[in-house]
Chains A and B, each alone.
Chain A
Amino acid sequence: MADRESPRGARAGGGARADAGARTGGAARPGTAGGPGRVLVAVYGIFALAAGARAGVQIATRFAEAPLAYGLSALAAAVYVVATVALALHGRTAFRVAVAACATELVGVLVVGTLSLTDPGAFPDETVWSAYGRGYGFVPLVLPVVGLLWLRRTARQGGGPGAGGGRPVGGGV
């Protein structure tokens, strides 16, 4: 999606966002949840919902069949929930938590994706991260990368960490 309306420096330390387009105007909020970040939070929300529901069903109905796969499903769901909330909130702590959650996801999808292909016996049933998220259109693989890029961008614009406007230390992966 085109992103023509996010000038650099528009998110100075917790102040009002200066962009948002003349025609739409209104009370946009600064930080990771504003503007395009909304779409990211929405996608994360859907994945939190989908992964959480799936893990809940798997664990409730047949945990004994594949404890590793279903445990990982639950872990993935928890990470998605944390990432969704952290991306939607403002402030330095939320920013760091969001970076950690996205990084965890990226590591998870790569490790579980690789293991599920090299050792299929350990994963008798699908998880969100199996085969790099193939069952979900590879969105689980793309999402953490987009999330980390977006977080880096908001940090660069100065308002990412929110109140105080300071950059997070070691915010990258």
Chain B
Amino acid sequence: MTNGLTIVIIVAALLVAGHALVAALRNRAMDLAQLISLGVLELLLAAQAVVGFVKLSGGEGPESTATFAGYLIGALVLPVAAAGWGLLERTRWGPGVIVVAALGVAVMIVRLDQLWSGTGG
């Protein structure tokens, strides 16, 4: 998956995490801007999943196909869960959860890339 999309997603996830961290430190609850940024991240991940599955069905991809597919789908869950949490927890800890989830997305994308290039189990 060594294409521009991977890098874009990692950067986007880190930006979302940084933005949410500022909100948490300023003692703000999740706002609309964060909700939108999570939506953008989710769209990027959806695009990544589509590209990933198209490549997998085309015969490309790592040996551990199941793990790779698991990460592709699993990453999709995180922004949605974080957004729901941010809506429920109207304190600084809503953005706190978003920080964790966005960092989790970044880690998962790095792992995806490692799986694709065969440098990780």
> Could you list which residues of chain A lie within 8 angstroms of chain B, going by C-beta atoms?
1-2, 5, 20-21, 23-28, 34-39, 42-43, 45-46, 49-50, 53-54, 56-57, 60-61, 125-126, 135, 137
Contact = CB atoms under 8 A, between A and B. Distances in A.
Given A36-B96, A45-B81, 7 more contacts: A1-B24, A23-B27, A24-B27, A26-B90, A46-B100, A49-B74, A56-B70
Contact of B101 (A42, A50, A60, A61): A42
Contacts of A61: 66
Given A35-B91, A39-B97, A42-B100, A125 B77 contact: no
B53 interface: no
A37 to B, nearest CB: 8
Given A26-B90, A28-B91, A57-B66, A126 B121 contact: yes
A23 B28 contact: yes
Given A39-B100, A42-B100, A21 B91 contact: yes
Task: Indicate the size class of the contact surface on chain B.
Answer: 20 to 34
19 contacts: A1-B24, A5-B92, A23-B28, A24-B28, A28-B91, A35-B93, A36-B96, A38-B85, A38-B96, A39-B97, A39-B99, A42-B100, A45-B81, A46-B100, A49-B77, A50-B74, A57-B66, A125-B121, A137-B107
B51 interface: no
B61 interface: no
Contacts of A25: 90
Interface centre among B24, B82, B104 (most CB of A within 10 A): B104
Interface of B: 24-25, 27-29, 64, 66-67, 70-71, 74, 77-78, 81-82, 85, 89-94, 96-97, 99-101, 104, 107, 121
